[in-house]
Amino acid sequence: MSRTVGIGVIGMGWMGEVHSRAYLAAADRFRDTGLRPRLVLCADEVEARARDGQQHFGFEGFTTDWKQVPAHPEVEIVDITAPNYLHLEMVREAARARKHIFCEKPVGRAPEETTEIERAAREAGVLTFVGYNYRWCPLVQHARQLIQQGQLGKLTHYRGRFFAGYGADPHAVLSWRFQRELAGFGVLGDLMSHVVDMAHLMAGPIRRVVGNSETFIPQRPLPTPGEGTHFTVQREGRQAHVTNEDYAGALVQFANGAHGTLEACRVIRGPQCQMAFEVHGTSGAIRWDFERMNEMELFSLDQHNGREGYTRMVSGPQHPFHGRFNPARGVGLSYEDLKTIEAYHLLKSVVEGQQGEPGFQEALAVGKVLGAMVRSCESGRWEDIH
């Protein structure tokens, strides 16, 4: 049975465009499900971006006043891709309007704000979703199945990292992501939030952490308002201070007894987008790296012939969601395909009236870990998650 869902997107920068394309692609890739996203209204404070969003993606209307999105009677889902400092107000407004909410991570600038956001949505009785898109990789989903089936035995070690040197050039502009007032946490919110969510998905809840952080590039050039992204480089002009962290790392202990490390850095040289994990158990191990997202290595004990070692696997239609994009093994998916899978799960959640994962509860669980890392950086001690 066909079901149309009205969508309103707030923030038509790069991520807003990614989300808009994902809805259109989900209608195609999952067309047998009957889900039909309807792009009702897009909003951006820069009129040219809002107008371009309407014309390019086929929104029925555009506005420079984001409050018109939750107020629109045909909008069922308010999709928030605006900067972090606007998330709380936007979620509150959407919750008051009883609209379902899709918010990009890290949802709140700090755990306290994420707590407020989660409470507002829960008390309003609306469904929520968060953009932890790396979890939707077919091989990541397959890895999770193997772990749940006990193929790795009892988990003992987990190592997660996200190394993306988008800020490695000291002339990369001081976008909102580098300012505590606007972004809240720096690399903790931007990249480590993905690392923690993946750790929760693969190894379960984290019990305690001891953390460390550093800001390696203390000043950056001011950006031109309304232009570029946090990848933009500008070699001239006035500079200002970076007010949040470039690097964060932690030793972690999981509730199931496993131990591990988590790291994230936005100024590292070498890795470009290395969102990766390694998980080890008493019977095997798995390692995966987004830079080679369509490959995974599985280590298993071959007791039949006495041999053991890593086996390289490539993504194929036997893995979750791969067949939605192509029928062949080894024909890879992309970042935006993961956002398409994400959009499908959001739409499915709304149509079925069932809270899916990851929602604001999962974002709050991540936020509590990030908060414990910050407390540990200040105390120099292990900090429990609470």
Q: Which tokens sit at 27?
A: 């209608």
Query: What pLDDT does 106 receive?
Result: 94
Q: Residue ranges per domain, the chain? A: 3-133, 135-329+359-384
Query: What pLDDT does 224 receive?
Result: 80
Quote the pTM value.
0.95
Q: Is the dihedral of CA 182, 42, 66, 50 positive or negative?
A: positive
Q: Which of these, 265, 156, 247, 264, lies nearest to 202 by C-alpha position?
A: 156
Let me know how many helices (H) and strands (E) the chain has, helices first.
11, 17
Query: What pLDDT does 261 receive?
Result: 98
Q: Which tokens sit at 87?
A: 């998330």
Sheet of 247-254: strand order equals: 307-314, 295-302, 284-289, 274-281, 155-163, 259-265, 247-254, 206-214, 383-384
Angle, helices 14-29 vs 335-352, to 10°: value is: 70
Residues of the chain short of pLDDT 70, as ranges, are 1, 226, 228, 302-307
Q: 165 and 268 in contact (C-beta within 8 Å)?
A: yes
| CA atoms in the 13 A half-sphere facing the CB of 154 | 7
Angle at 353 between CA 351 and CA 354, to 5 degrees: 115
Q: Which of these, 245, 168, 256, 176, lies nearest to 211 by C-alpha position?
A: 245
> Within 10 Å of residue 297's Cβ, how many Cβ atoms?
17
Query: What pLDDT does 302 receive?
Result: 67
Domain 3-133 has CATH 3.40.50.720: yes
Please give the C-alpha separations between residue 114 and each of 70, 189, 346, 359, in angstroms, as whole numbers. Answer: 20, 11, 20, 12
Angle at 110 between CA 107 and CA 114, to 5 degrees: 45
The domain made up of 135-329+359-384 has a fold known as Dihydrodipicolinate Reductase; domain 2 (3.30.360)
Kindly state the greatest CA–CA separation across the chain: 67
Query: What pLDDT does 305 receive?
Result: 63
